[in-house]
Amino acid sequence: MVNNDFAVRCRGVVKRFGDVAAVNGFDLEVTTGQVLALLGPSGCGKTTALRVIAGLDVSDEGSIEVGGRLVAGPGVNLPPEKRRVGMVFQDFALFPHLDVAANVAFGLPRGDKKTRVAELLSLVRLDGLADRMPHELSGGQQQRVALARALAAEPDLILMDEPFSNLDPGIREEVRGEVRQLLRAVGITAIIVTHDQEEALSLAGEVAVMIDGRVLQTGTPAEVYGRPVSRLVGEFVGAANVLPGDSDGAQVECVLGRFKAMEQRGPVDVMFRAEALAISEDGGIPGEVVDVDYYGHDQMVAVKLHSGETLRVRLLARPGFEIGQRVGVTARGEPFVFPRS
């Protein structure tokens, strides 16, 4: 059954390269109009997943629907140009010998291209730059040309592969904000691949966490960060401290004390986000500061407990801590509790 509520729906997709299953049981549904960040560590198969959705690689198993049409599945494999999917590559892949207008027009069907190019350039706020060559544009502007070219064919879905990684860190955040606004304004469904947690959480309405070829959790940024389904997801999506613990089904005991636990019984992993811990100069579980990463607005302080574990604690920038300082660590909130892995 195809379903029109989803701009894209992947079920059990597998893509192998020789013995390596780069994508391995990939399930993903993106509601029409949603911007989803596909977040995962390097090599987990994100690019391959995009390529099989776009039809640039042929999937070995599973099915893919785009805009309510089956584009890949048993006996079906539509070519990329029939899938109504637009792609923006990491390096933007503009034609260097064509000006901005010609680059955008490339994505258009025959007919009155001029008016449509002007509309598209206005949409991505590049009016007046139609005659520029790609090398005369900033990275952010080149990206908007690539986006305009991808939007030209009125796709059901836009795929963007690490679209901000080629931009200077100084402008990355600004361009990210612009792209987010633009995608929302157009109302297009988009999947944006990134390995950057902060980027994923700040950019998208939904985040899918991909590890080892499959999606382990999909949800809003707050859900994925605040209620990870597994230790693996929790550790990938934010700074996390994992301590061994024991649960009696109602409470869990670990080096930082006793906490409420779900029904889980027996040996467990007890996970505290770095900001769920606090440092005090009197009281708490004793330890010594072994490292300080100062970021200006906040700091990450590593404390080695006398019992041997090293914990990372995220704090406001003040008060400052010195390496070697004796401190105590306390928990500010309830931990996540997972079966011992």
List residues binding ligand ATP (CB under 6 A): 17, 20, 22, 40, 42-48, 195
Nearer to ligand ATP, 224 or 327 (CB): 224
Q: How far is the CB of 301 from ligand ATP (least distance, A)?
A: 30
Q: How far is the CB of 138 from ligand ATP (least distance, A)?
A: 24
CB under 8 A, 24+ apart: contacts of 114-123: 116/152, 117/152, 120/148, 120/151, 120/152, 121/148, 123/148, 123/151, 123/182, 123/185, 123/186
* Residue given tokens 């005991």 in the structure block: 253
Nearer to ligand ATP, 17 or 95 (CB): 17
Q: How far is the CB of 57 from ligand ATP (least distance, A)?
A: 8
Q: How far is the CB of 198 from ligand ATP (least distance, A)?
A: 16
Nearer to ligand ATP, 9 or 46 (CB): 46
Nearer to ligand ATP, 17 or 294 (CB): 17
Nearer to ligand ATP, 90 or 330 (CB): 90
Nearer to ligand ATP, 49 or 276 (CB): 49
Q: How far is the CB of 91 from ligand ATP (least distance, A)?
A: 13
Nearer to ligand ATP, 2 or 20 (CB): 20
Q: How far is CA 266 from CA 261, 273, 307, 334, 340, in A?
A: 11, 22, 21, 18, 9
Q: How far is the CB of 157 from ligand ATP (least distance, A)?
A: 18
Nearer to ligand ATP, 214 or 273 (CB): 214
Q: How far is the CB of 78 from ligand ATP (least distance, A)?
A: 21
Written as one letter, the residue type at 333 is: G
Q: How far is the CB of 115 from ligand ATP (least distance, A)?
A: 37
Tokens representing residue 233 in the block: 């997801």
Q: How far is the CB of 166 from ligand ATP (least distance, A)?
A: 13
Contact indicator for 50, 83 with CB cutoff of 8 Å: no
Nearer to ligand ATP, 216 or 261 (CB): 216
Q: How far is CA 218 from CA 24, 140, 223, in A?
A: 16, 29, 8
Residues 216 and 218: their CA atoms lie apart, in Å, by 7
Residues 130 and 145: their CA atoms lie apart, in Å, by 10
Other beta carbons less than 10 A from residue 115's beta carbon: 9
Alpha carbons within 13 A on the beta-carbon side of 146: 25
